[in-house]
Amino acid sequence: MPKFVDDDNATIDQHKVGHFGFTAVSLDDLESSGYTLATIACDRSGSTQGFQKPMEEALKASVAALLRHPNSESMMLRVLTFDTECAELHGFIPLADIEPMRYNGSLEPRGMTALFDACINGAEAASEYGKQLIQDRFNANGILIVITDGMNNSGRFFQNRDLPQVAKAFQDTQRNECLESFATILIGVNLQDSHVKTILEDFHRQAGFSTDMIALMDAQPDTIAKIGAFISSSVSSTSTALGTGAPSQSLTW
């Protein structure tokens, strides 16, 4: 397995599994008895033009909410961006090593929208890394946060008939003994547009997200604070169940 060392001298493994692969800190560098694996997949396609500021604020608010959590020391975060294809800003690394300001300017709009790829990518990586953690006697659960306007039109899984593959990836992660629980959250962008709203509502339902969809209307402090509070509650539900064998509780936005 290829390895490299990041700026904090942690060994990062490259995993060539699933449809996309991923990177993650080496199991040899982990010390906690269990981990919550958080993944944020954020749209930066051309159709999000004009929404990059609220999306970037939502991304940073999500990370800040994770950092404020009492169990933040037992969390790892992976961040993906997607346009015509997916790109890993960084793989699973300890949350303590992350400063939210590092994501400034990371969502400059361009290209098309590989939304289905990003969701499958996020689920498969959490599933595989979670399986490795459990096999190495760690407890593990996961949470996936997707920020998008929902206009899927690119990638390996780019046609409407591929949508069941997203639902399957979510379901497989929950039932294949890869993670104790797996929460999925959709943050919808540009719901002011009725066409976008219809597409996002349909995607949310058919993909089988485990929580209500969050509407990202603007970058106003109260909107961002509400998103942060919901993410914090979702993580609390997920991380509290860690090691108990019980599922996380479903939450309503």
Q: Percent of the chain at pLDDT above 70?
A: 91
pLDDT exceeds 90 at position 37? yes
pTM: 0.90
What mean pLDDT do residues 190-217 have? Answer: 94
- CA-based Rg of the chain, rounded to a whole angstrom? 17
CA distance 87 to 90: 9
pLDDT value of residue 241: 53
Q: Which alpha helices (H) appear in the chain, and where do they start and end? A: 52-68, 115-135, 163-175, 194-207, 221-240
What mean pLDDT do residues 16-38 have? Answer: 92
Q: CATH fold of 31-240, please?
A: Rossmann fold (3.40.50)
**Torsion from C-alpha of 46, 51, 56, 57, nearest 10 degrees:** -170
Nearest to 119 by CA among 185, 25, 37, 52: 185
Among the ranges given (106-110, 131-135, 231-235), the one the predictor scored with the smallest mean pLDDT: 231-235
**Residue 200 near residue 149 (C-beta atoms within 8 A):** yes
211-251 pLDDT tens trace: 999 999 887 888 888 888 888 888 887 755 555 554 444 44
pLDDT exceeds 60 at position 7? no
φ and ψ at residue 198, rounded to 5 degrees: -65, -45
What mean pLDDT do residues 39-49 have? Answer: 96
155-168 pLDDT tens trace: 999 888 999 999 99
